[in-house]
Structure 1
């Protein structure tokens, strides 16, 4: 199981500092949507320059103009980017094609998808590298599951055996992110 750290509520230097502290335990670093909105892909480029050897995901949540946006993520340093599962089938197919032609990967984010099982089968047939289930912050705030990933859920997570586990605040908002990341790696890795 790969561990991905969602970096959402930082500035670029804060993201760099967090990556430096956790890079020994994390497999994929997510340049989160708030960073994309606040700092654009130039921020991603700065992180890539600082860390040429990490795996970097740009959480663009693409909805349209898929080939162009996927390629832009890669031009600025991403190894993986995201498209929404509610996007048009052709957009997802174009995103998969663009990612694979570039030798990169695509994650399809299922936020907002009502029939996840059916849509996941469709998207899997399109050749996506990852299909991510996702309860957004707005619904988590209302108490809908799943909430944020916590160490106390380690056994449940291990039994589900996902290819990729995305962790955010349980690492990024604690006093010692390096120790928290190492604990996740030890329990789940």
Structure 2
């Protein structure tokens, strides 16, 4: 299982500093949606310049203009880009085609997406399907149960990620379960006093 560390709701300067600090320590570094909205595509380039050893996921949350947004996201340095599962089939297809053409990766954010819609997009077999528990929701995510249910419903999906308030204990449980490719952790790492040490602890936990 890979660790994806999400940087969100900080200044661009702090994001660049964190990217430098975590370069090569986390498997994937996520440039969160807030950074994209606050600073734009040129900020991807700045983070890419210091992130030389970890993959860069840019959480652009595309919902329309799929081909254009994915072309731009990859052009500026993203390795993995996100599209909302709620987008139209044609938008998802356009994003997937660009990702395949560029030899890059598409992550489908399944935030509030029902099973009927998921059934319609299973053909994107190289995409990562991300179970995403909204930060605004009041209930707590049961990560392993969510993954188990998803795997039961969609056994043909090869690549699963999960996000939404994941802590160290949940990350350990997901690693032991063995069904998830990527666990996404945000504030439990980036808001800690020593982010690099927190990454080290999470990496040890999920790679035991």
The TM-score normalised by the length of structure 2 is 0.83
1:113-162: CA deviation from partner (whole Å, max 9, x where unpaired): 133xx5444433123420000011111xx134255111122442123320
State the partner residue of 1:165.
183
Alignment counterpart, residue 131 of structure 2, candidates 130, 133, 144: 133
State the partner residue of 1:71.
71
Alignment of 1:93-112 (within 5 A): 93-112=93-112
Aligned to 1:25, the other structure's residue is in SS state coil
Q: Aligned equivalents of 2:52 and 2:172: distance in 1?
A: 33
CA contact (8 A) 2:24 2:53 kept: no
State the partner residue of 1:14.
14
Aligned pair count? Answer: 185
Alpha-carbon RMSD across the aligned residues, in angstroms, is 1.6
Q: What's the offset of the Cα at 1:15?
A: 1.1
State the partner residue of 1:113.
113
CA contact (8 A) 2:63 2:84 kept: yes
Q: Aligned equivalents of 1:153 and 1:80: distance in 2?
A: 24
CA contact (8 A) 2:84 2:111 kept: yes
1:10-64: CA deviation from partner (whole Å, max 9, x where unpaired): 1122112112222232111111100011001111111112224431111010011
Matched, 1:145 2:141: yes
Structure 1: state its 5+ residue gaps: none
Q: Aligned equivalents of 1:92 and 1:128: distance in 2?
A: 13
Q: Aligned equivalents of 1:107 and 1:67: distance in 2?
A: 14
Give runs of ≥4 in structure 1 deviating > 4 Å: none
CA contact (8 A) 2:82 2:108 kept: yes
Structure 2: state its 5+ residue gaps: 143-163
The change in CA–CA distance for 1:4 and 1:154 in structure 2 (over 3 A counts) is closer
Q: What's the offset of the Cα at 1:183?
A: 0.6
Q: Aligned equivalents of 2:81 and 2:172: distance in 1?
A: 29
CA contact (8 A) 2:23 2:50 kept: no
